[in-house]
Structure 1
């Protein structure tokens, strides 16, 4: 696990989930090792923590009140997926995609991963020889 701090923005949090749910979410976040705080004096909020605490917070919110905290859960999960995608090397990601779906086209690989055609061809070749 990495100790890098991940931050995600929660625009209009109180308007979306309510004041009481925001207070509950702040308490749960502190228990999980995250921090939900307001950005200066605006109506926007942010949640900060490491990868492990983000996963823990998402699970706890999903178990406690999934319908009330849906916005918060979705934002945390979206941030975790983008964070994990950035950690994976492009070659490994391409190879994984080709192995998962052997009928994927080069254009689809390029669209999903924003890679060049040569990288997509190398990934296809490596997966076929694997």
Structure 2
């Protein structure tokens, strides 16, 4: 677990025990936790696999936080090219400028 705690700190996450129990808690941004899991899979696939098995289902529940706002805008525009700017702004909580930039970039790809 010392190695896992060290890797978590390298990825700007915090892995610590919940009070005096045998349970552990990880805290951090969703993207950072995802990179932490990927790092564990690469460096210690067998010995720390139980951590990845516990974290992965929780990350899947928060899939919207695992992609950047630009990636999310791009994905939404690819799925529905006729989406209006106001719909984009409502779904992604982005500004008008960001929605317009994403629309312009999506039009360039087609």
TM superposition score normalised by structure 2: 0.56
Q: Per-residue deviation at 1:84? A: 1.6
Q: 2:46 aligns with which of 42, 45, 67?
A: 67
Q: Which runs of 4+ in 1 moved over 6 A?
A: none
The structure whose RCO (Cα within 8 Å, separation 6+) is larger is 1
Cα RMSD (Å): 2.2
**Correspondence for 2:62:** 83
Q: 2:2 aligns with which of 13, 18, 23?
A: 23
Work out whether 1:38 is the aligned partner of 2:39: no
Unpaired segments of 5 or more residues in structure 2?
Answer: 67-78, 80-110
> What SS does the aligned partner of 2:26 have?
strand
Counterpart Cα distance in 1 of 2:24 and 2:48: 14
Unpaired segments of 5 or more residues in structure 1?
Answer: 1-21, 88-98, 100-130
TM superposition score normalised by structure 1: 0.47
> What SS does the aligned partner of 2:62 have?
helix
